[in-house]
Amino acid sequence: MNKRLLIVTFFAFLLSALHADNVMDYEIVAAGSGTQGNYLVNVYVYSKKAKLSPEELKKCAVHGVLFKGFTSKENRVSQKPLAGNALTEQQHSDFFNLFFGDNGTYKNYVSMTSSAYEVIKVQKKTYRIGATLSVAKEQLRKDLEAAGIIKKLSTGF
């Protein structure tokens, strides 16, 4: 009985640890004015490893533009989340699970402006990895409108 309990507890811990790894812990701020139809953002991801794949950073950039929004110290302008708020992600979880999946289409809307990363060790086993990315917000908005995830300004008229 005790052995079973021990095994169940072990797997529960393992699952929660895996889940914690999947949760994206990141910050997003403006990196100046992007060209028309694009946002230029700095994304900082907190990771246990000093190396991070570009896909993770891209995913965070698109996720941030959609659900977090960001501010700019220079312009003192804050951009609201494109998809409204985090509730939209839950309401359309089927769509966004595929969208942010391994072969997800989020990659089509983001590019890194340079291959250089900024890596800072902030704690014993935590690194802050940053990069500047360009997110094609107009195309993203249009495609999400077409998919019925967000409303068009002209909806209902």
Partner 1 sequence: MKKIILCALLLIGSNAWGQIKKPTLMVVPADAWCANNGYMMSYEALGVQTDVPDYKQALQNDIDLLNVISKIGELMQERGFPLKDLASTIRSIEQSSAENEMLVGSSGLGIVETPYEKLLNRAKSDIIIELVYKINTEGPKRSVTYSMRGIDAYTNKQIAAATGTGAPSFSAEIPVLLEEAVLNNIDNFSSQLQSYFDDLQTNGREVAIEVLVFDNVEGTNLESEFDGEMLTDIIEKWVNDNTVEHRYSLTDATENKMLLEQVRIPLYRTNGMAMDTRAFTNELRKFLKAAPYNIECKLLTKGLGKAVIVIGNK
Distance CA 69, CA 54 (A): 20
Is residue 85 close enough to count as binding partner 1 by CB under 8 A?
A: no
User: Are residues 134 and 128 in contact, defined by beta-carbon separation less than 8 angstroms?
Assistant: no
Distance CA 134, CA 132 (A): 7
Binding mask 41-80 for partner 1 (x = CB under 8 A): -------------------------------x-xxxxxxx
Position among 16, 33, 91, 108 found at the interface with partner 1 (CB under 8 A): 33
Both tokens of 35, joined, read 């060209």
Position among 58, 63, 68, 137 found at the interface with partner 1 (CB under 8 A): 137
Residue span binding partner 1 (CB under 8 A) among the ranges 13-21, 27-35, 43-51, 53-61? 27-35
Both tokens of 153, joined, read 């300004």
